[in-house]
Amino acid sequence: MIIIGTEVEYLIYEVNPQRLWVPDPFAYWRPARRDTLSVIMEQIANSYPAISSRGRLWLANGACVYIDGNLLEYASPECFTSVTASACEHAGAEIVGEACKQACSITRKDIKAFARCAGPDGMEAGYHENYGLPPEQYFQLFHKTFWPTPRILGSVVTHLISRIIWSGKGEHSFSGDWLFSPRGARVDRVWDLNTETHRPIIHVKRPNMEDDLLRIEITCGDFNSPTMTTLKLGSTAAVLLAASQGVFDDMRITVSDPVKSMRSVAKSLTAPITLKDGSTQSCLSLQWNLLSRLQECGKEIDKGGPHFNWSDSLDLWEQILAALENHGGMDAAGS
């Protein structure tokens, strides 16, 4: 069994009237003040069925919206399939966007919401993927002390790096640089307990041992389209399930320097990935290797229970990789 959810931190900006004379249009904006964020929250509460508790809004779809410092965070409900998780995530984008429009009319301010990892002033926001696994599978990926095992540092991290060729959102930074994965370009370590001052690929934290499912948090992904979000969540869930059962143990696909490789791929999709055995592979080749191994898995492994969309995830994954290989992604973009 597996459950999937995401957390999207929205950068909320408003026009700074004292800087309208500055030639740089990005300098017009400042992080929204607390009263502006409160108005946005009020509009969400007034527009959708919600329960307010301790400064958080719990929506009818199971999502939670709250203010986190200068950010507005939308945490999706935990879902059985990547399709549902993606739909709930993008429903959040519509909810936040509509609330900002309503807040513009009330406050008479120009308000913008950004689902990107950095704003014009350098303020950062996160995007987190959460996967819940039964304890017996979780502790195949993490030691009893909660440090990552070679299984997650091998195949799972390799997937997180190589999936950028289709999961990266692609955007110009405010400094003018083009990044295929803005979040991937900022990682500074493979894993860490702290996401306040560090940018790890995997956020390691002590799970609640009373829960039936223990959570794994991935912090290197980007907010993207519904189709790519569905594939990103579905493929990563499948890789986690398979890795926890030793499916990739005999594959020599551990990346030599994950941070360096992820940063390189985030800036150039053709950057070669150096593996621990000294060989190099392309992201596309690594993706095909992972997918092929999953397609070979028979009924002997747990594929996430009766609800998880294992087959559909692998079918979509194959379609996207084939489009990238044969047509540079044009088929994938049009699907």
Q: Are strands 189-192 and 200-203 parallel, antiparallel or unpaired?
A: parallel
Burial class (CB in 10 A: 0-12, 13-18, 19+), 198: middle
pLDDT, one tens digit per residue, over 31-41 is 888 999 999 99
In 27-124, where do the E strands start and end?
Answer: 29-31, 50-53, 56-59, 64-68, 71-75, 111-114
Output the pLDDT for position 331.
Answer: 47
Higher local confidence (pLDDT), 173 or 309:
309
pLDDT (mean) for 161-167? 96
The answer to whether the CB of 69 falls within 8 A of the CB of 43 is: no
Angle, CA 222 vertex, CA 310 and CA 332 arms, to 5°:
55
Residue 99 carries which DSSP code?
A: H
pLDDT, one tens digit per residue, over 167-203 is 998 887 767 778 899 899 999 999 988 887 889 999 9
The lowest-confidence range among 125-139, 260-274, 292-306 is 292-306
Residue 272 carries which DSSP code?
A: P
Helices 82-107, 34-47: inter-axial angle, 10-degree rounding: 120
Output the pLDDT for position 177.
Answer: 79
Distance (Å, rounded) from C-alpha 138 to C-alpha 241? 9
What does pTM read for this prediction? 0.91
pLDDT, one tens digit per residue, over 31-81 is 888 999 999 999 999 999 999 998 899 999 999 999 988 899 999 999 999
Nearest to residue 125, comparing CAs of 201, 162, 70?
A: 70
The answer to whether the CB of 311 falls within 8 A of the CB of 298 is: no
The two tokens of residue 203 are 């956020």
- In the chain, residues under CATH classification 3.30.310 are 1-125
Distance (Å, rounded) from C-alpha 34 to C-alpha 303? 45
The lowest-confidence range among 85-99, 110-124, 129-143 is 110-124
84 residue type, one letter: T
Higher local confidence (pLDDT), 299 or 6:
6
**3.30.1380, 1.10.3470, 3.30.310, 3.30.70: which CATH number matches 1-125?**
3.30.310
